[in-house]
Structure 1
Amino acid sequence: MKPEKLDATTIVPFLASIFERRGAEDYLGEPVTMAEHMLQGAHFAEAEGAPDVLVAAALLHDVGHYTSEFGSYSPEDTEDKHHDEAGAEVLAPFFPPVLVECVRLHVSAKRFLCATDPSYYAKLSTASKHTLELQGGPMSDAEVAEFRQNPFHSEAVRVRVWDEAGKVAGMKTKQFEDYVPLLERVVRQHKAI
């Protein structure tokens, strides 16, 4: 199913299909697959007692790696492929703005954290350090100030922390289908507004 044919009743099955078909793909040279990485993000969000919408954001933050016209990441890449924007674009018609902004800003949140928290850079994996450089490196003071103007910047930072944590080889988590009711609930609540 093409993204332009999606509606509120088909978006979650579409996402489930992506996870099923492509979730076993390598994740940026990390010791986890794409699906394991995103499921771990959701796990860490739940462990902190995050609301459904942020658990969903943590689960879906990297969906742009699947939906982007630019292809998947390779350690040899010399430019950013903007999976953050691609994912947000697909999700925007169906999910609340806070979730969409968390997806759109999770790369910016890494740049923000590297600029504002001296210890954060040391927590990044090798692949994450590489992509940081492709994505513009730590933010300038002006970029930090602009990032803080986004009403959902704090939530995006939370998703980013769960994102970076989600790289644990062999970790047991729920499966995507376990999150289907949560995702459907978030879509319904958004459409009811």
Structure 2
Amino acid sequence: MESSILAVAELYQIKGDLHYDGEGVSQLAHAWQCGQLAKDEGAGPQLQLAAWLHDIGHLLSKKEGTPTSYGFDDQHEQIGGNYLARLFSEEVSRPVLMHVLAKRYLVTTYPEYRKSLSPDSVRSLVLQGGAMTQEECIEFMALPFSNNAISLRMWDESGKKSDMKMPAKADVINELLQLAEECR
């Protein structure tokens, strides 16, 4: 197995237990839940992997704690998407790069969506530019992978269940490794 894929797994092994204020799950539990939601909805392996890894930028960031709580946007989508672009196809990296734009799009086009946002997502939304203009919505939907980014974003908000039973950490990381290898 390629060392860069192992580095991703090691990152989740070391930092996967981190929590962010306003989220009821660890980074690894959130990644696993999002991946399961994508799988359950019949997403292909690349989009499943994007769902798993969409927040990897938080783990790669050098910022301590919850950056949004002190008014900082860590631009995790850019950090993570650019990192993943070196390892995987655009089908993995682009939805990750676009999942914050998808949140802004959904808040604009589906007012009920805003009510589903966790406290940290609400905080970060302000820092990330808030709701889109109509012109920005049109531009976003014209981008390749915009629909995949929207799907990913929906799983992102749904994948924060603190009462959901996750398999053992080693089993979860092994599942991630197998999916990543399939997407190489």
Q: TM-score, normalising length from structure 1? A: 0.88
Q: Which moved more, 1:122-131 or 1:155-164?
A: 122-131
Tell me which moved more, 65-74 or 90-99: 65-74
* Aligned residue runs from structure 1 range 6-21, under 5 A: 9-21=2-14
> Which amino acid in structure 1 is aligned with residue 2 of structure 2?
T
SS of corresponding position for 2:70: coil
- Say which of 121, 126, 131 aligns to 2:124: 131
Q: What is the total number of aligned residue pairs between the two structures?
A: 180
- The alpha-carbon deviation at position 72 of structure 1 amounts to 5.0
What is the root-mean-square deviation in Å for CA atoms of aligned residues? 1.5
Contact 1:27 1:37 (8 Å CA) reproduced? no
CA contact (8 A) 2:20 2:120 kept: no
Report if the CA contact (8 A) 1:73-1:81 is conserved. Answer: no
Correspondence for 1:39 among 25, 32, 40: 32
Does residue 1:186 correspond to 2:183, yes or no? yes
Q: Partner amino acid for 2:164?
A: M
Q: Per the alignment, in what secondary structure is the counterpart of residue 76 of structure 1?
A: helix
Q: Secondary structure at the match of 1:30?
A: coil
Contact 1:98 1:152 in 2 (8 A): yes
Question: What is the rounded CA distance, in whole Å, between the counterparts of 2:139 and 2:59 in structure 1?
Answer: 28
8 Å CA contact 1:103, 1:156 repeated in 2: yes
Structure 2 contact 19–26 (Cα < 8 Å) conserved? yes
**How many angstroms apart in 2 are the aligned matches of 1:77 and 1:143?**
27
* Matches for 1:1-193 after TM superposition, within 5 Å: 9-174=2-167, 175-187=172-184
Does structure 2 conserve the Cα–Cα contact (< 8 Å) formed by 1:101 and 1:152?
yes
Runs of 4+ in 1 over 4 A off after TM superposition: 69-72
Q: Is the 8 A contact 1:41 1:162 kept in 2?
A: yes
More moved, 13-22 vs 174-183: 174-183
TM-score normalised per structure 2: 0.92
Aligned to 1:5: none
Name the one with the larger helix percent.
2
Identity rate of aligned residues, in percent?
A: 34
For 1:56-109, what per-residue CA distance to the aligned partner results, in whole angstroms no more than 9, with x for missing partners? 000000000011344553452213110000001111122111211111011111
Cα distance in structure 2, aligned partners of 1:72 and 1:53: 30
Contact kept? 1:43, 1:173, Cα under 8 Å: no
Q: CA deviation at 1:177?
A: 1.2
| Unaligned stretches of 5+ residues in structure 2 | none
